[in-house]
Amino acid sequence: MKQSMTLIPTLREIPADAEVKSHQLLLKAGFMRQNASGVYSFLPLGKRVLQKVENIVREEMDGADAVELLMPALQQAELWQESGRWYTYGPELMRLRDRNDREFALGATHEEVITSLVRDEVKSYKKLPLTLYQIQTKFRDEKRPRFGLLRGREFIMKDAYSFHSSKESLDEVYKKLFQAYSNVFSRCGLNFRAVIADSGAMGGKDTHEFMVLSDIGEDTIAYSDTSNYAANIEMAPIVMEYKRSSEALKEMDKVKTENQKTIEEVAGFLEVSHENLIKSLLFKVDDQYVLVLVRGDHEVNDVKLKNLLEAGSVELASAEETKTVLSCPVGSLGPVSVTEVRIVADHAVEAVVNGVCGANEEHYHFINVNPGRDFNVEQYADLRFIKEGDPSPDGSGTIVFAKGIEVGHVFKLGTRYSEAMNATYLDENGKSQPMIMGCYGIGVSRTVAAVAEQYNDENGLVWPANIAPYQLHLIAVNMKDETQAQLANELYKELQGERFEILFDDRQERPGVKFADSDLIGLPLRITVGKKASEGIVEVKVRKTGEVTEVNRSELAGTLASMLKSI
Ligand code: 9G3
């Protein structure tokens, strides 16, 4: 492709509202442009990278015996009413009415559509297992779109759905797709981890997220410093025993804590360690209130709380709500003689001896509080976030945190949708059974941004050869110089003939501008036709290392081919 024929509007300045590298560079290098908040156009270079990622996804999905189809983005409300999700999703689900005033959703995901399709077309166990996938635009009206393609409101997802007549069959396909996902992200050159994730509202049990390690990731991964254990921090279970001190139980007493509100202040004033404090937080769980207790040095894990109570929604109660429900300010909350709400506690609380907690009276705390003697807990459970330094749940090593960008997510759904939507098959005994399902997503446009996030330097993008928009960037230092222009045009034709993907900067621009744009766009190899054109000698520069070699035009194709294999 000649640059005089395409559209690569590089910018001199970094756009002000772009906060992260990938967002800045994809805009600056002319790969994409924003249309609206969280809504982007892929310009020609961006589209080519997207295409490369999609092709890798297709190859790996087809290699795992999945079959591609294409479902509509316009989804009838009736389907979402059947699954119940029409009522449980809020403003994030984009809804519209057609000319006959019929209601539709713009597809945020396709469990309902695919289940209704398979329900109608598959009746016998002989047709199972069946794994279908699509690569398609999704719509989710994010409250705070940000970081460019990393959190958009319209994005490209590969979503796959598998249907089974047994759990073993689901496990088999899950494993195959798990491997396919690892292949996809490895081939994209990404440094990723598969982490145990929380299935959340998706129902099924087993689920993993594929996380690209990045400081700007929104998710926190808890991983072992010695084994390959890795889990989303929301999910990581605590597997440690809490030792209870052998000191004698003391008389509970109420003390004035005039100006101490926070855990820090109370601990400092009463000279107790955080491990000896009991923190009480009031949560609104669906339509009831629950008092949750954790040790002073721990934090409540709302996802574990939600899963324990099998709740639809879990929200920390506001200060006003707390005042209304327990008639005391948040800073003085405690479990002693609380009867208005349920009390659940993290296991660590059970081992507190002669602890401190709020006295449910402003400016007062209790000391020498002992669970079981001074207050009751309806249920002890693992309700806290894992911390760095905690023992790894798999028993080897200790936990370290890292930030991650979720680029893939695989779920074992079970029969959550097939039962809700009556997607059944006749088993070998002619008995009607609900299909067992799995679902598997890759954020394709998000993957493009994740690669840009991991592959850049002070001069711009540095694409891995596998997914670069083109393999070669051909530049003539001076297109007005007859010899240079002629050699450049000849090489352009020759290398295209050799099936290289080549971008030819044939613009009448100053060399400095061309070289700066070339570094910014980040193609793997640059061929410069310059003053040695008359000797048939060109320069080849590796973008990643900056290494430059002079090559005679007669060896150019062979040299380029071997260089592309090794970068
Ligand atoms: C919605 C909206 C947002 C959503 C969903 C539904 C996330 C929703 C979870 C999934 C699960 C899997 C198939 C591919 C892999 C992921 N955000 N999820 O279901 F209506 Cl507005 O999408 N779906």
Return the pLDDT at 214.
96
- The secondary structure of 4-28 as a DSSP string is TTS-----SS--TT--SHHHHHHHH
Name the token pair of 372. Answer: 């079981």
For residue 188, pLDDT over 70 is answered with yes
* Cross-strand bridge partners of residue 405: 212
Return the pLDDT at 463.
98
Q: Are 158 and 61 in contact (CB under 8 A)?
A: yes
140 CA → ligand 1 middle, Å:
9
* Residue identifier of the C-alpha nearest atom 14 of ligand 1: 441
In this prediction the pTM is 0.89
108 CA → ligand 1 middle, Å:
6
* Cross-strand bridge partners of residue 364: 256
Averaged pLDDT score across all residues of the chain: 95
Q: Are 528 and 475 in contact (CB under 8 A)?
A: yes
Query: Ligand 1 pocket test: which of 109, 218, 412 has the largest number of ligand atoms within 8 Å of its C-beta?
Result: 109
Of ligand 1's listed atoms, the one at least distance from the Cα of 89 is 20
Distance (Å, rounded) from C-alpha 18 to C-alpha 504? 29
pLDDT, average across residues 397-423: 96
Distance (Å, rounded) from C-alpha 176 to C-alpha 180? 6
**Helix or strand holding residue 526 (H, E):** strand 525-529
| Domain 253-381 coded CATH 3.90.960.10 | yes
Return the pLDDT at 258.
85
CA 366 to chain centre: 43
* Residue identifier of the C-alpha nearest atom 16 of ligand 1: 441
Length of the chain: 567
Helix 21-28 vs helix 444-454: crossing angle, to nearest 10: 100
Of ligand 1's listed atoms, the one at least distance from the Cα of 160 is 14
354 CA → ligand 1 middle, Å:
46
* Residue identifier of the C-alpha nearest atom 9 of ligand 1: 202
* Residue identifier of the C-alpha nearest atom 22 of ligand 1: 109
109 CA → ligand 1 middle, Å:
5
For residue 203, pLDDT over 50 is answered with no
Sheet holding 103-106: strands in order across? 74-76, 103-106, 95-97
Question: Radius of gyration (Cα) for the chain, nearest Å?
Answer: 29
**pLDDT tens-digit readout, 131-148:** 999 999 999 999 999 999
For residue 279, pLDDT over 90 is answered with yes
For residue 17, pLDDT over 50 is answered with yes
Of ligand 1's listed atoms, the one at least distance from the Cα of 90 is 21
207 CA → ligand 1 middle, Å:
14
Identify the CA nearest to 344 among candidates 319, 309, 370, 391: 309
Of ligand 1's listed atoms, the one at least distance from the Cα of 441 is 15
208 CA → ligand 1 middle, Å:
14
Distance (Å, rounded) from C-alpha 475 to C-alpha 483? 13
110 CA → ligand 1 middle, Å:
8
- The secondary structure of 73-95 as a DSSP string is SEEEHHHHHHHTHHHH--TTS-E
Residue 14 confidence class, pLDDT cut points 50, 70, 90: confident
Return the pLDDT at 262.
83
Of ligand 1's listed atoms, the one at least distance from the Cα of 141 is 21
Distance (Å, rounded) from C-alpha 124 to C-alpha 182? 32
Return the pLDDT at 205.
60
* Cross-strand bridge partners of residue 41: 33
Fold assignment, 470-566: Rossmann fold (3.40.50)
Q: Which CATH superfamily is domain 16-237+401-452 in?
A: Bira Bifunctional Protein; Domain 2 (3.30.930.10)
Return the pLDDT at 199.
57
Of ligand 1's listed atoms, the one at least distance from the Cα of 105 is 20
For residue 168, pLDDT over 80 is answered with yes
Q: Please tell me the least confidently modeled range out of 53-57, 212-216, 261-265, 522-526.
A: 261-265
**Helix or strand holding residue 139 (H, E):** strand 130-139
For residue 31, pLDDT over 90 is answered with yes
138 CA → ligand 1 middle, Å:
10
Of ligand 1's listed atoms, the one at least distance from the Cα of 110 is 13
For residue 201, pLDDT over 80 is answered with no
**pLDDT tens-digit readout, 72-122:** 999 999 999 999 999 989 999 999 999 999 999 999 999 999 999 999 999
| Residue list, ligand 1 pocket, CB within 6 Å | 89, 92-93, 108-109, 140, 159, 202, 409, 439-441
Name the token pair of 7. Answer: 């559209």
Return the pLDDT at 259.
83
Of ligand 1's listed atoms, the one at least distance from the Cα of 85 is 20
**pLDDT tens-digit readout, 517-553:** 999 999 999 999 999 999 999 999 999 999 999 999 9
* Residue identifier of the C-alpha nearest atom 19 of ligand 1: 109
Residue 15 confidence class, pLDDT cut points 50, 70, 90: confident
> Domain locations in the chain?
16-237+401-452, 253-381, 470-566
Same fold, 253-381 and 470-566: no
134 CA → ligand 1 middle, Å:
14
**pLDDT tens-digit readout, 217-262:** 999 999 999 998 999 999 999 999 999 999 999 999 999 998 887 8
